[in-house]
Structure formats: C-alpha cells, structure tokens
Chain A
Amino acid sequence: MKRFLILIVIFSYQNSKSQTVDLLNSPLAKSVFLDYKYEPPEKRKVLSFKSKRLIAKFNPLNYIAAGALFVYQRVFSEQIQASCIYEISCSNYTKLSVQEYGIKGFLSGINQLNCCFTDVIYDYPDYMISSESKVRNYLAK
C-alpha cells in the first residue's frame, strides 16, 4: 500500500511538472503558430431597423425580410454548406445594404444574387479578386 502511495505521489508530481512545462511552452507555441491560428467567423447579426424612420420600424414587410434572412443564414446556409463567390456573401450583402439604403439596397442585394456564379470573377479587374479567388464587393449607393 505504501509503495502504491509513493508511486501515486511520484506520478502526480511528474504530471504536475509536465503541465508546468506545457505552460511555459504555450507562449512560444502561440507566437510560432500565430499565423495558423483559427479564428471562428463572426456571428451574423439580425437585421435591425433601430436607426430607421418610424414607418420602416412598423413595416411588417421589413420584419418578414429580416426573419427570412435570419432563418436562411442560421438554418439553410449552414446545412447546404453554401459558399458564395463574393467576399460579402449574397445574404449578408442584402442584409447590410437594406440596413444602409433601404429598398435600393434590397435591389442591389438581389442583383448580386442574380450574378452569383463562379465565372463572374472574369468580369472583374484583378485588384477586385482576393487571394481566395473571391470578388471583393463593397456597398455602393
């Protein structure tokens, strides 16, 4: 029994020592593998109409659109593993542009969705294509 206890003490000591070694190594590992660090994608926010006019706030169509986008992004997009050719995906672009420009933003979002296919990158100049072969899109008035 005594031998067994001594063994446990030795093993636990070694274990604790190995943990401290790991702790010492962690800053080094962090700095070395900084470039390969995985950063989870940002959580997609729900379309909000806080800064909009009173009519927009009480418009049921806005809430239907916001709900549809929310359901698509949280449920369907992840299930079908949808990947977009644009850096700001079509659904996200629609959401952001609706928030910014209202009905015009909705139309430009639908326009992007209409042109969402792989060959579209040949329509854009070189500087608009990112290293991941995606089109750098930006919100336009």
Chain B
Amino acid sequence: MRLKIRTFGLGNCIETIKSGKWRLFYFIFLFFFEPAAGQVNYSFVKHLSEVKLSKEHFTYISQQSGKCPEDSINYLKAKYYLQYVNDSLFLHFYFKSKSLFISDSNAFVAANIHFLTRDTALQKVWYNSVPTSTGSKKVEQINTCYSASVYPTKTDGSILPIALQSDFARYKRSQSKKPWAAAALSAAVPGLGKMYAGRKRSFYFTFFSQLTYGVQSYESIKKLGVSHPFSIFSLSLFGVFYAANIYGSYQDVRKVKKETKTQFLINAQKYYHFNFGTPLY
C-alpha cells in the first residue's frame, strides 16, 4: 500500500525505474528525497487511526491535500469517514477514489460489512456502486446477504451461511404476512392477530384481559341493565380496548416486518465482522 501511494506521488517515470536493476537506486532516491516526493506518512495515519485521535487524524490528512495527489487524499478521507461513521461523506470521497479504494481489500470488505445496517437510502447507493465482479469471495457473500434482505421471497435461504439461515427464515416468513389479516383475526378472537404477527406472549395477555373486560361488561349489563352508568363505563372501556387491539395487531405485522429485517441484517453484520473483519489500516 505504501508503495502504491508513493508511485502516485512521483509519476509514471518512476514505474520504469523501480522495476529491474534500478530498484536499489529508486529506494536510495526515496530515502533522500522523501519530503520532496510529497507522500503521506502511512504508518503515522495508521497510528492516529488506532489510537482514535480523530481530530489529529483529520488535520493531518487535510494538511496533505496540496502536497499529495488528490486520489490518495480522497482515499484516506474515505477511510477516515468510514472509521468515524459519516456515511454521506464517506460515499462522497469513495466515489472520488473508487479504483484505489476497491484495491484496498480490507477497507472494501469493512465498508461492505458496515453498510449492512446503515440507512436504507445510502445503503442502496453503496451496494449499487459495488462492481459485480470484484474477485473477492467475501464481498460476494456480503452482497448476496444484502440482496437476500432486499428480495427475501426470491432468495433461497440455503445460499446463506448456516448461522444466518434461521434469522432469514423468520424474516422471509414475516414478509408474507398481511396486516389486514391480523386485524381480521383480532376482530374475531381478541389478540389472535398478535399471534399471527409472531407475538405469542402479547396474545396470551391481550386475550385474557379482553376476556375479563368482556365478561365484566356482560355481567354488568345483565345485572344492572344497559342504561346503568357502570354498564356504559365498562362497555365503553371494553370497546376502546377491543378497537385498540385490532388497530395494534394491524400495526404489529408492519412493525414485525421491519424488526425481523433489521435483526437479520444486524446478525449478518456481526457474523461477517467476526469472520471477515480485519483492521482498517
């Protein structure tokens, strides 16, 4: 990597010198004329990144902007914003130094893992920008996982790693559920829509509480009559809870769809970070 940045600084003529028997002279030249070459001290940037001196890191990169080739500076800025989680600025500098960034496999894999759980609009921009043939199996696996999250019904879960298959199956199952069906089920049997959405415990509690309200209303109507204030109060309470339950079940299905997707992507990020995660520098 160090060599790559240096060549950007010195131009094409060095390409010919550094290969073959002139290689030794090339390194002697670099040793004496290092400041003149205008290059980034990569090990220093690595150190600043490791100790998380974000302000110093940024200042150092910014100071190099006039002295070094723009491509290298944009590449380092992209890595800086990737480390300090500023997605929009990361993408801005990534597009300016795309070829250099993709050649750094560590950073490219890290960015792919990072964008699994990011804001959907920027996530889309990132994964659309990833070239189809990167030559990296890691990147391909991560991209497959992302496309599975976008098109769950079209994806076969077996192509994913075994650790993620159960999460994906849950996500896929939730996508086929209909909110109106949950509302209809809750109208028939209070709380059944929650069971349909995948919230068993909510179903038990809702069902028994609704049953209690219902029985109480029935008893008060039977003993005191419909026009009695207590009957009106208990009946209206039951009505409010009944209506809220129907609306809540409708909402729950929509929420569960989002929750299962987010959970799947979070688990995928953890999995890939554990298996493919390498230091950024």
Contacts and interface: CB of A to CB of B under 8 A. Distances in A.
Nearest to B265: A127
B201 A123 contact: yes
B123 interface: no
Interface stretch (A40-48, A53-61, A71-79, A112-120): A112-120
A114 B241 contact: yes
Interface string B246-258: 0110010011000
B262 A122 contact: no
B266 A120 contact: no
Contacts of B241: 110, 114
B156 interface: no
Interface in B132-151: none
B205 A127 contact: no
Task: For chain B, give the interface size range.
Answer: 20 to 34
A117 B254 CA distance: 22
Interface in B227-272: 240-241, 243-245, 247-248, 251, 254-255, 259-260, 262-263, 266
B200 interface: yes
Task: For chain A, give the interface size range.
Answer: 20 to 34
B220 interface: no
Q: Is the interface of A mostly helix, strand, loop or mixed?
A: helix
B251 A111 contact: yes
A132 B16 CA distance: 63
A140 B201 contact: no
Given A124-B259, A125-B262, A127-B262, A108 B244 contact: yes
Interface of A: 104, 106-112, 114-115, 117, 119-120, 122-128, 140
13 contacts: A108-B251, A109-B244, A110-B240, A111-B247, A111-B248, A115-B194, A115-B199, A115-B206, A117-B201, A122-B201, A123-B200, A128-B259, A140-B255
Interface of B: 194, 198-202, 205-206, 209, 240-241, 243-245, 247-248, 251, 254-255, 259-260, 262-263, 266
